[in-house]
Structures are given as C-alpha cells and as structure tokens.
Structure 1
Amino acid sequence: MSSRYLVSRDRFIAAAPDRIFEVLATPALHSEIDGSGTVRGAQPRGPGRLGPGAKFGMEMNIRVNYKILNTVTEFEEGRRIAWRHFYGHVWRYLLEPAVDGNGVPGTLITEQWDARHVRGRFLLRLAGYLRRHPENIDRTLARLDTHVTGAQATR
C-alpha cells in the first residue's frame, strides 16, 4: 500500500495511548501540537471532543487566513482517529501501546497524510505538500510528545 501520496511518520512517546488520544480528539488543542504552523485554532461552534462522524472547523493560515470544515472518518477510541475536509486528503493518527528500548512503557504513534484517493492530487505535489509534510509531521509528533509528557522532546 505504498504511495508517494501517503506520507507517514512515527514516534515513541512515553505516555499512555489514551492520554495522547485525548489531545488528538480535542480540536482546541490541535493548534498547540501543529508542526506546520498553519493551524490557528478550532472554530468555537464545533464539538469539544471528536467522535465518529463529528464535523469540526479549524481556523487556518497558509499565506491568508481561512476556515476549513473537517469530518471524522475513522474512529476507534484510544487507537485510531482520522479526518478529512472537502478536498479529500486524510489526516490519520494510529496509536499502539509500546515499550521503548529502556523498558519505558508508552505509545508508538503514527501520523499519516493520505492523499491516495484525491482527484487532482498532482496539484498537491506541485504545491510542495509532499516535500513539506514529512518534516511538518515530525514537528507535530515532537510537539505532541512535549504536550503530553511535559518534557522537551528530543529527536
């Protein structure tokens, strides 16, 4: 299932999956963990916590301010959450309980940007998203690590 339109990164975080999932399921926290610098905040009339099929708006900025409406498309409490907006690409988070090399319990979290089923996806490539997303995802996972552990994340 490999494709250049699926960008995927993972990271071990020394926190329980439920604790990390709570941050991902709370739109008001997305701007705090966003590594791309584009997410400004949740729109106030959206849900406080996401669930299956939930719709939530975000305040965004890529050169200009705009709003985007997302729909939760995958949801398994504590394990998986994904959402997409009108253009069709999906932001997905997969969480697995894990233990690091030192025996520290935590979570292996995978973040994915999935545009495999987007029509006109070559436009995303031309706009540079495929080049930028790996680094942005790495920064998001580092910020998520810092947010849930309270420690400055390394790596």
Structure 2
Amino acid sequence: MDSQVFVVSGCREIAAEAGWIFELIADPARQPSWDGNDNLSEAPTGQRVRAEGAVFTMTLTTGGVRDNHVVEFEEGRRIAWMPSDHGHEPAGHLWRWELEPVGDGRTRVTHTYDWSRLTDEKRLVRARSTTEAQLRASIDRLAELAERG
C-alpha cells in the first residue's frame, strides 16, 4: 500500500480582509514578495488574474519561465493554477489558495499543493519534499504584507 501523501496544506488566520489578501495572491507581480519557497523571481506587471482560464507568466529564481494556468477562480475567495514550462501543457500539479472571512477583519487562509496528477518525473523529487511548513512560510509572509496594509 502506497503511503505517499499527494496533497499538502497549510492554514492560518490573517488579520486582514479577504479582498486585500486576494489582491496580493491574484497579482503575479506581487507573488515573489511572499513566496515562502524562494522560488519566484519576478512576473511582468498587468497580469492580475480575473477568471478561470487565464495564464500568467512567472520567472523563477533559476531563470526559467513558468506559465501558470488558472483552473479555479472565485474573486476574493479561491484561486488555483497548474504550472507548466513556458509554452507547454501543465505537468499535473496544482497550487490552490482559499480565503474564508471569519469576522472582525480576519481571514482564514488555506494554501494547498496537490501533486496527485503529476506526470513530469523531473518534478517528483521536489513535489515529494514539499511540506506543510513550506506552505505555511508563504502564508506567514503573505500575512506580514497583508497586515501592514
């Protein structure tokens, strides 16, 4: 029986409104400032995600370019994308952000990495090593920015 975990999540409350937190997530140019994996270098401005089916481009710290295919979108509440090498189809892993207002200007933020459909052998080692702590690092950095306003 395979005991491999294919879905990893981290969660915490942030003292900020869901709409503001969502702006930080849905604007790829802001993502390197809160990336807890230190994997993202930069993204061109003007790519703010507004719908499922959008594709935004990100340059990695390694210099590679990634296309991110948005597969889930609910303004202010949920966004998920599947990365791919530039110009290629997604490899089968997914990054999801879910925001739930909990009152008094606070929001429960859940960050999930799902690699249950990953087909790219080159990415398996890194996928297996992705932990809740890494996801929480992104949430914690996001919280620092969001709480400063």
- TM-score w.r.t. structure 2 length? 0.84
Shift in CA distance, 116/145, structure 1 to aligned 2, threshold 3 Å? same
**Is residue 2:72 matched to residue 1:71?**
no
Q: What does residue range 48-63 of structure 1 map to in structure 2 within 5 Å?
A: 48-61=48-61
Distance 2:71 2:49 in 1: 14
How far apart, CA to CA, are the structure 2 residues paired with 1:6 and 1:108? 19
Deviation at 1:121, TM superposition (A): 6.5
- Residues 118 and 132 of structure 1: is their aligned pair in 2 closer, same or farther, counting only changes over 3 Å? closer
Distance in 2, Cα, partners of 1:60 & 1:123: 14
After TM superposition, which residue ranges in structure 1, 4 or more long, deviate above 6 angstroms?
none
Do residues 106 (structure 1) and 110 (structure 2) align? no
Within 2, Cα distance between the matches of 1:49 and 1:115? 22
Q: Does 1:134 align with 2:132?
A: yes
Q: In structure 1, how many angstroms separate the alpha carbons of the residues matched to 2:77 and 2:18?
A: 7
The TM-score normalised by the length of structure 1 is: 0.81
- What do you get for the CA RMSD once the two structures are aligned? 2.3
User: How far apart are the structure 1 equivalents of 2:121 and 2:13?
Assistant: 30
Equivalent residue pairs, number = 141
